[in-house]
Amino acid sequence: MNTTLARLQVLQRQTGAQPTRTAATAPRSAARTLPAGVAQLRALLRLREVPTVAHRANAADRVLPGTEIAPGLYLTCARVPGDPLPTLLDGTFDRRSFIDPQRVLFFDTETTGLAGGTGTRAFMIGAARWRDGALEVRQLTITTLAAERAMLAEFARWLEPTTILASYNGKSYDAPLLRTRYRLARMADPTTGLEHVDLLYPSRRRWRGVYENCRLCTIERRVLGVVREDDLPGSDAPAAWLTYLHGGSARNLCRVAAHNRQDVVSLARLLLHLAA
C-alpha cells in the first residue's frame, strides 16, 4: 500500500509516454501503459526484490523412479504381497452391508497446499487395489504443470462405474479437489456417482478419545503397528514438489512418494482391520 497513480504517471513520462493532462480522464488513460519491466513495476510498487531460492541440482539428483508415460507424467507400480482375502468384507463399520474387495480402489493425493479453492492442485495421486493375492500400488507424479491433464486422464482410466473409492478424509478433501481440477481441465469428473468409503469417519467413531487424535499416521501406528522411517511430514510435501519443479533435487519428492505409498497401503490394511 505505498504507491500512487501519480508515481505511475511519472514513470510513464520518464519512458517517453505522453503525459496525461485532462483531469477527468487522467486516472483511466494513465494506466493503460504500464511499466515495461518487472524491475520498474517493483520500484513503482516499492516491493522488495525477492531472490529466487531454487538451487539447480545436477542431473543425478533429478532422477525420479518409474516410467514417463506421457510428457512430464511418471508412473510407478509396486506389488505388496498380503494374506488371502475373503470374497466379501463386512461393511457394518461404514453402515453398509458387504464390500467386494475386488471393487475397492484406495487413493490419496499430495497437493500444493491446504489453502483450498481453485489455486490448489494435486501433483501426485497414489492408488491401490487388490489383485491376484497382492496389493497393487500405482502412483502418478507430474513434473510439469502441463502434465496435469494426462494425469487426470490416466487416473480416470483406473476407475470403473463399479469402483468403490476408499480414502482417509477424501470425501471432504481429495475428491472435491480432484473435482475442481477436472472442472478446470474441462474434463468429466470420473469420481462422480461412485461409492466412497471414507475411513476417517468410522475411525473417529471407534478411536476418538482412545488415542491422542485420529490422524492416519496415529491410527496406523496405534492400530496397525506401522512405524515409518525417514518420513517426510505432509506439510513439507508442497515445498518438495516446488523444489523439483524449479529444477532442484528429487530427493524430497521421492520421500513424498514413499509417504504417499505408505498411506494407501495403510488404507488397505485399515479397511481390513475395520471390517474384521
Q: Please name every residue paired with 73 in a beta bridge, in sequence order, or none if there are none.
A: 70, 142
Q: Please name every residue paired with 109 in a beta bridge, in sequence order, or none if there are none.
A: 125
Q: Least distance (Å) from other proteins to the CB of residue 265?
A: 26
Q: Which residue has the cell 479437489?
A: 177
3-state secondary structure 248-276: CCCHHHHHHHHHHHHHHHHHHHHHHHHHC
**Site for other proteins contains 42 (CB under 8 A):** yes
**Site for other proteins contains 88 (CB under 8 A):** no
Which of 59, 115, 188, 276 touches other proteins by CB under 8 A? 115
Give the separation between CA 249 and CA 64, rounded to whole angstroms: 10
Pattern of binders to other proteins over 203-242, x per CB under 8 A?
A: -----------------------------------x---x
Q: Least distance (Å) from other proteins to the CB of residue 172?
A: 12
Which of 61, 100, 102, 116 touches other proteins by CB under 8 A? 116
Triad 157, 169, 217: Cα angle to 5°? 105
- Please tell me what DSSP assigns to residue 153: H
**Site for other proteins contains 95 (CB under 8 A):** no
**Site for other proteins contains 188 (CB under 8 A):** no
Residue 51 or 84: which CB sits closer to other proteins?
51
Q: Least distance (Å) from other proteins to the CB of residue 53?
A: 7
**Site for other proteins contains 119 (CB under 8 A):** yes
Residue 71 or 86: which CB sits closer to other proteins?
71
First-last CA distance in the chain: 60
**Site for other proteins contains 192 (CB under 8 A):** no
**Site for other proteins contains 47 (CB under 8 A):** yes
Q: Please name every residue paired with 174 in a beta bridge, in sequence order, or none if there are none.
A: none
Q: Least distance (Å) from other proteins to the CB of residue 225?
A: 33
Query: What single-letter amino acid sits at 266?
Result: S
Residue 96 or 183: which CB sits closer to other proteins?
183
Residue 4 or 87: which CB sits closer to other proteins?
4
Give the separation between CA 254 and CA 267, rounded to whole angstroms: 20
Contact 214, 27 (CB under 8 A): no
**Site for other proteins contains 159 (CB under 8 A):** no
User: Could you please report the per-residue DSSP string of 94-134?
Assistant: GT-SEE-GGGEEEEEEEES-S--GGG--EEEEEEEEEETTE
**Site for other proteins contains 187 (CB under 8 A):** no
Helix (H) or strand (E) holding 164: strand 164-167
Interaction site with other proteins (CB under 8 A): 1-10, 21, 23-24, 26-28, 30-32, 34-38, 40-42, 44-45, 47, 50, 52-53, 112-121, 144-146, 179-180, 183-184, 238, 242, 245
